[in-house]
């Protein structure tokens, strides 16, 4: 059992941040790694990145977007409630070195995954350019933290309600044009289409690009193969070989399609859950 | 006298009827009643040199425990069993008895062997229901601490043996439930999960600590267990949990599963109870399972129970070579599973959304024997067909997961990635033992349990005498 110590709603309640007791995991967590949790006895195992960890307090922080049954159930938990199972840290940590200048691009909840990597890159002595985006101003998360973790931060909204009016790819292209070969690496994390388009841009400029893939997972330890993704000629398991990969080699279209494997069942589960919640509030 | 006994026929196991059980997840064999067990036990000739015992990988003293059943002393029978086998309720259900104990029973030469597995199951089930059975004695505390990694049958045996010898034992399991393949792989209708839970609970009552959600190699390393957490010895029983795929085009389509994933979703996550449980499990209209072992049979029979009428076992060798337990093959056939013998997949075919719709199969014939001594399947030129298939499950074996070996300096592995261990289960790394599937490659429950017992004895010698 893992106690929830804090709960904060971001982006108008569509995103939630929890600090959770998990001393063993907190002692080991590195940027880029994730956990797998199961809320209760009937729950599904879902992967979430550790947005932060505090080995002294023995806690980890997760930031998740509410997209379906499990994340809705997780959001229904309050401070001092417990999550039944958490396993981790899982996945290969991000290789963080001083390379010179790096660009970190994040979209939507991807910014939560991007932040610890950005901070790590900055602490390692890199000059870090940050670009973050959201559909609209109210859905933008972690601007303050990204501000601290970067040398320069650019903000974009699709609808122009805040910062640059347009996509993160526009700003990415501008920066790459301006800085040229000074940029040694790009890290792009967000929705699959965003990562795909960012990679198309960085490829033009020949800048190595790392992406973090959110394939559907079960165990997270390499024993089921559910999370397999096509990277170049090879099939990789996102949970152990990743979740980060060379974005120029990833088959994003294949990943997008695999993410729809359970769409009908996810809808069914969510509908049932909402009905049950409605009944409970009425009764 | 022998003559007379042989006249009693082997008591068949009562079972759920195929047309009923093919659509439910309840256990198929129903078990012997006490009187029936005594009659079956009385068939045993109590051989002076019992060949059945040699057939059992851990040499269970079969005539002795059967004698107790015949006499109606079931408590004595179970204590006798426990001396050699820590998991009789499991082994009685899943051992391939026809190749092991029963395959060697003298009565099998002329007629039907004694139903050793059924009797073993009966005894263990009786003991589980018997609330007042005393716990086995536990030796005084030695002050030594042992970490057991993984919680499959090998690990559970090590934990049970060492706690009784007075050592402190903690089991670390990566999944959220202990039991290894017994909970994530073997389905409910063959091995009710309540039985595994009760075995684990029994160990906990003896004092074993079980910590789930600990991925050793990642949450904590073997060296940290030894150096920082004060363990005096470690047993690695992490199994052979790396899925193997065929390597043909289309294998990443939606609807193509490793058996590990399909069975984990079904068993550990209880996907067959979706939406009561949250993990979805696809129900196919045309299911093909590739492979012919126990894992394939479990996948086939699960797919049938999910409500599919067209379930095929696609196997590239001939029927005689199907490696599954005889009982499983027989059960699968009774339940309406079709056998596509001498066929191998060439390509998986998807629609525009990358969902599997068909599979292309190559017909095979048997050629010359290969290294395994079995005749090698070879493609028949020009003999290719395409069949409907929206759920394909790959059950062609598994390999060694490198998570532990990669993070544990000093362990040696063979060319397939399995851990090198000597006859006592000792690895090349000091204070570390290993056994079960991670040493031998995918094998059987009783072999893993046997390896656990051997390792536990060796660990006990080391903990007591330092060697
Ligand atoms: C390594 C990794 C790290 C992640 N980190 C974060 C994070 O920090 N914050 C965050 O908001 N999200 C993160 N995700 C995505 C998150 O796991 C999914 O949003 C979550 O599983 C949705 O579950 P649900 O039941 O609420 O929604 P559902 O209705 O079940 O599914 C919604 C969508 O989520 C995806 N999904 C469903 N089940 C799984 C599963 N078992 N594993 C992975 N994806 C699934 C599918 O694409 C699905 O279409 C991460 C995913 C991975 C693989
Ligand atoms: C579907 C299926 C059906 C089978 N049917 C039969 C049958 O009918 N009869 C029979 O005799 N045999 C059968 N077998 C084979 C038998 O189950 C195995 O040989 C046996 O379970 C191996 O036991 P083990 O002790 O090596 O560990 P396993 O049972 O393999 O368990 C290993 C455990 O270790 C855990 N683990 C792995 N890595 C780590 C880590 N890094 N940290 C912590 N924990 C970890 C795993 O999660 C798992 O729980 C079947 C196997 C399968 C898959
Ligand atoms: S453990 Fe298995 S092989 Fe040995 S006697 Fe029991 S059923 Fe037979
Ligand atoms: S070989 Fe058969 S008859 Fe003889 S002791 Fe064993 S079970 Fe009994
Ligand atoms: S989630 Fe099972 S192998 Fe990656």
Q: Is B101 in the pocket of ligand 3 (CB under 6 A)?
A: yes
- Decide: B236 and B433 in contact? Cβ < 8 Å: yes
- Decide: A162 and A169 in contact? Cβ < 8 Å: no
Q: What Å distances lie between residue B353 and A227, B288, B391, CA to CA?
A: 18, 20, 15
Q: Whose CA is nearest to atom 4 of ligand 3?
A: B56
Q: Mind listing the domains of chain B with CATH numbers?
A: 2-129 (1.10.1060.10), 145-241+400-465 (3.50.50.60), 246-394 (3.50.50.60)
CB–CB contact B401 A222 (8 Å) = yes
Backbone phi and psi for residue A41, each to the nearest 5 degrees, phi listed first: -60, -35
Q: How confident is the model at residue B368, as a pLDDT?
A: 87
Distance A265 CA to ligand 2 centre (A): 29
DSSP state of B264: I
Beta bridge partners of B394: B258, B290
Cβ of residue B247 closer than 8 Å to a chain A Cβ:
no
CB–CB contact B269 A44 (8 Å) = yes
Residue A186 to chain B, least CA–CA distance (Å): 27
Distance B100 CA to ligand 3 centre (A): 7
The structure tokens 């929830």 sit at A4
Structure tokens at B73: 């002393």
Q: How confident is the model at residue A282, as a pLDDT?
A: 67
Distance B464 CA to ligand 4 centre (A): 37
Residue range A70-109, pLDDT digits in tens? 999 999 999 999 999 999 999 999 999 999 999 999 999 9
**Can you tell me whether residue A193 is helix, strand or coil?**
helix
Task: Say how far apart CA B448 and CA A25 lie, in whole Å.
Answer: 30
Residues 6+ apart with CB under 8 A from B185: B260, B263, B264, B267, B295, B298
> Which chain B residues are within 8 Å of A232, Cβ to Cβ?
none
* Buried-exposed string B437-467: b where 16+ CB fall within 10 A, e elsewhere: bbbbebbbbbbbbbbbbbbbbbbbebbeeee
> Which chain B residues are within 8 Å of A225, Cβ to Cβ?
243, 245, 257-258, 260-261
Residues in chain B with pLDDT values less than 50: 1-3
Cβ of residue B275 closer than 8 Å to a chain A Cβ:
yes
Predicted TM-score (pTM) of the model is 0.94
Alpha helices in B307-395 (DSSP H): 326-334
Burial class (CB in 10 A: 0-12, 13-18, 19+), A276: exposed
The structure tokens 């690895």 sit at B427
Burial class (CB in 10 A: 0-12, 13-18, 19+), B140: exposed
DSSP state of B220: B
Q: Is B53 in the pocket of ligand 3 (CB under 6 A)?
A: no
Residue range A164-191, pLDDT digits in tens? 898 999 999 999 999 888 899 999 999 9
Chain B CA closest to residue A273:
B275
HEC letters along A95-151: CCCCCCEEEEEEECCHHHHHHHHHHHHHHCCCEEEEEEEECCHHHCCCHHHHHHHCC
Neighbouring C-alpha atoms within 13 Å toward the C-beta of B169:
32
Atom of ligand 5 nearest to the CA of A240: 4
Structure tokens at B83: 């001396």
Q: Which residues line ligand 4 (CB under 6 A)?
A: B 44-47, 50-52, 62-63, 105-107, 114, 116
CB–CB contact B278 A44 (8 Å) = yes
Task: Say how far apart CA A29 and CA A23 lie, in whole Å.
Answer: 10
Chain B CA closest to residue A258:
B254
Task: Say how far apart CA A23 and CA A117 lie, in whole Å.
Answer: 21
DSSP state of A162: S
User: Which of B459, B53, B393, B149 has its CA nearest to residue B253?
Assistant: B393
Alpha helices in B165-238 (DSSP H): 181-184, 193-206, 222-227
Q: How confident is the model at residue A187, as a pLDDT?
A: 96
Cβ of residue B354 closer than 8 Å to a chain A Cβ:
yes
Cβ of residue B351 closer than 8 Å to a chain A Cβ:
no
Residue range B220-232, pLDDT digits in tens? 999 999 999 999 9
- Mean pLDDT, chain A, rounded, equals 93
Burial class (CB in 10 A: 0-12, 13-18, 19+), B181: buried
Task: Say how far apart CA B339 and CA B361 lie, in whole Å.
Answer: 14
Q: What Å distances lie between residue A254 and A142, A203, A236, A240, CA to CA?
A: 30, 19, 13, 19
Atom of ligand 2 nearest to the CA of B238: 34
In this structure, the strands spanning B209-211 and B168-172 are: parallel
Task: Please report which confidence band the pLDDT of residue A283 belongs to, taking 50, 70 and 90 as the band edges.
Answer: low
The shortest CB-CB distance from A223 to any of B213, B220, B260 is to: B260
Q: Is B242 in the pocket of ligand 2 (CB under 6 A)?
A: no
Chain B CA closest to residue A236:
B252
CB–CB contact A221 B403 (8 Å) = yes
Tell me which ligand sits closest to the C-alpha of residue B44.
4
CB–CB contact B252 A261 (8 Å) = no
Q: How confident is the model at residue B170, as a pLDDT?
A: 97
Report residue A248 CA to chain centroid gap.
19
B positions 174-233 inside 8 Å of A (CB): 174-176, 212-215, 218-220
> Which chain B residues are within 8 Å of A272, Cβ to Cβ?
275
Residue A244 to chain B, least CA–CA distance (Å): 17
Residue A137 to chain B, least CA–CA distance (Å): 33
Backbone phi and psi for residue B90, each to the nearest 5 degrees, phi listed first: -80, -50
The structure tokens 């395959």 sit at B103
Helix (H) / strand (E) containing B345? strand B343-350
The shortest CB-CB distance from A89 to any of B218, B258, B354 is to: B218
Task: Say how far apart CA B10 and CA A249 lie, in whole Å.
Answer: 62
CB–CB contact B254 A257 (8 Å) = yes
Distance B438 CA to ligand 4 centre (A): 33
Q: How confident is the model at residue B1, as a pLDDT?
A: 43
Distance B95 CA to ligand 4 centre (A): 17
Task: Please report which confidence band the pLDDT of residue A248 belongs to, taking 50, 70 and 90 as the band edges.
Answer: very high
Q: What Å distances lie between residue B323 and B249, B296, B381, CA to CA?
A: 26, 10, 26
**Can you tell me whether residue B260 is helix, strand or coil?**
helix
Query: What is the C-alpha end-to-end distance of chain A, expressed in Å?
Result: 29
> Which chain A residues are within 8 Å of B219, Cβ to Cβ?
24-25, 28, 87-89
CB–CB contact B252 A258 (8 Å) = yes
Mutation probe of ligand 5 site: the residue of A45, A47, A220 with most atoms within 8 A of C-beta: A220
The structure tokens 């690496």 sit at A185
Distance A256 CA to ligand 1 centre (A): 13
Task: Say how far apart CA B321 and CA B57 lie, in whole Å.
Answer: 22
Cβ of residue B135 closer than 8 Å to a chain A Cβ:
no
Distance A238 CA to ligand 5 centre (A): 7
Distance B304 CA to ligand 3 centre (A): 29
Give percent helix, percent strand, percent coil of chain B, each to the nearest 5.
Answer: 40, 20, 40
Q: Whose CA is nearest to atom 6 of ligand 1?
A: A48
Residue B103 to chain A, least CA–CA distance (Å): 33
Dihedral of alpha carbons A213, A219, A220, A225, sign: negative
DSSP state of A12: G
> Which chain A residues are within 8 Å of B402, Cβ to Cβ?
222
DSSP state of A250: B
Task: Say how far apart CA B467 and CA B464 lie, in whole Å.
Answer: 8
Structure tokens at B299: 């996948």
Burial class (CB in 10 A: 0-12, 13-18, 19+), A77: middle
Chain A CA closest to residue B177:
A85
Report residue A22 CA to chain centroid gap.
19
The structure tokens 């090879």 sit at A234
Distance A240 CA to ligand 5 centre (A): 7
């Amino acid at each position: 059992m893992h106690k929830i110590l804090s709960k904060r709603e971001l982006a108008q309640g569509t995103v939630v941040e929890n600090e959770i007791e998990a001393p063993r995991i907190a002692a080991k967590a590195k940027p880029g790694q994730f956990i797998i949790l199961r809320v209760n006895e009937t729950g599904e195992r879902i992967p979430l990145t550790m947005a932060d960890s505090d080995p002294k307090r023995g806690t980890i922080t997760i930031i998740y977007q509410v997209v379906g049954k499990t994340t809705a159930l997780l959001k229904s938990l309050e401070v001092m409630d417990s999550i039944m199972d958490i396993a981790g840290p899982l996945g290969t940590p991000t290789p963080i070195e001083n390379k010179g200048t790096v660009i970190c691009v994040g979209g939507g909840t991807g910014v939560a995954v991007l932040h610890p990597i950005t901070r790590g890159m900055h602490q390692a002595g890199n000059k870090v350019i940050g670009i973050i985006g959201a559909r609209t101003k109210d859905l933008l998360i972690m601007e303050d933290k990204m501000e601290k973790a970067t040398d320069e931060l650019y903000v974009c909204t699709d609808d122009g309600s805040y910062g640059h009016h347009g996509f993160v790819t526009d700003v990415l292209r501008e920066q790459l044009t301006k800085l040229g070969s000074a940029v040694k690496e790009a890290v792009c994390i967000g929705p699959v289409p965003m990562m795909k388009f960012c990679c198309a841009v960085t490829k033009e400029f020949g800048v190595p690009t790392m992406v973090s893939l959110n394939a559907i997972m079960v165990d997270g330890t390499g024993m089921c193969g559910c999370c397999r993704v096509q990277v170049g000629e090879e099939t990789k398991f996102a949970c152990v070989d990743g979740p980060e990969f060379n974005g120029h080699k990833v088959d994003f279209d294949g990943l997008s399609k695999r993410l729809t494997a359970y769409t009908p069942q996810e809808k069914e589960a969510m509908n049932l859950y909402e009905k049950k919640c409605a009944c409970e509030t009425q009764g | 006298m022998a003559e007379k006994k042989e006249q009693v026929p082997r008591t068949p196991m009562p079972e759920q009827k195929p047309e009923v059980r093919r659509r439910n997840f309840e256990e198929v064999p129903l078990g012997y009643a006490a009187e029936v067990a005594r009659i079956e036990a009385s068939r045993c000739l109590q051989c002076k040199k019992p060949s059945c015992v040699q057939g059992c990988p851990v040499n269970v003293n079969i005539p002795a425990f059967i004698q107790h059943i015949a006499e109606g002393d079931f408590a004595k029978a179970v204590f006798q069993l426990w001396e050699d086998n820590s998991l009789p309720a499991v082994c009685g259900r899943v051992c391939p008895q026809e190749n092991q104990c029963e395959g060697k029973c003298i009565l099998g030469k002329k007629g039907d062997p004694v139903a050793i597995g059924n009797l073993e199951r009966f005894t263990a089930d009786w003991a589980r229901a018997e609330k007042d059975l005393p716990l086995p004695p536990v030796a005084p505390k030695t002050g030594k601490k042992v970490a057991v990694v993984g919680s499959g049958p090998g690990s559970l045996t090590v934990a049970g043996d060492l706690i009784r010898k007075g050592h402190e034992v903690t089991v670390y399991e990566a999944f959220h439930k202990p039991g290894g393949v017994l909970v994530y792989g073997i389905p409910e209708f063959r091995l009710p999960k309540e039985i595994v839970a009760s075995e684990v609970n029994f160990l906990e009552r003896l004092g074993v600590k079980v910590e789930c959600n600990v991925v050793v190699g990642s949450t904590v390393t073997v060296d940290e267990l030894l150096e920082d957490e004060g363990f005096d010895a470690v047993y690695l029983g992490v199994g052979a949990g790396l899925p193997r795929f065929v390597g043909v085009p289309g294998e990443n389509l939606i609807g193509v599963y490793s058996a590990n994933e399909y069975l984990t979703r079904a068993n550990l996550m209880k996907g067959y109870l979706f939406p009561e449980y949250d993990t979805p499990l696809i129900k196919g209209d045309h299911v093909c399972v590739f492979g012919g072992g126990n894992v394939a049979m479990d996948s086939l029979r699960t797919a049938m129970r999910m409500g599919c009428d067209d379930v095929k076992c696609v196997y590239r060798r001939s029927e005689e070579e199907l490696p599954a337990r005889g009982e499983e093959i027989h059960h699968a056939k009774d339940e309406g599973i079709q056998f596509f013998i001498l066929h191998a997949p060439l390509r998986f075919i998807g629609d525009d959304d990358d969902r599997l719709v068909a599979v292309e199969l190559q017909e095979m014939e048997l050629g010359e024997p290969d290294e395994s001594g079995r005749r090698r399947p070879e493609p028949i030129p020009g003999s290719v067909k395409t069949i409907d298939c929206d759920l394909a499950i790959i059950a062609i074996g598994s390999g060694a997961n490198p998570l532990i070996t990669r993070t544990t300096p000093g362990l040696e592995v063979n060319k397939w990635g399995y851990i090198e261990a000597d006859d006592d289960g000792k690895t090349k790394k000091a204070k570390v033992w290993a056994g079960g599937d991670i040493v031998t490659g995918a094998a059987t429950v009783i072999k893993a349990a046997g390896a656990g017992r051997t390792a536990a004895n060796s660990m006990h010698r080391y903990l007591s005498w330092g060697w």
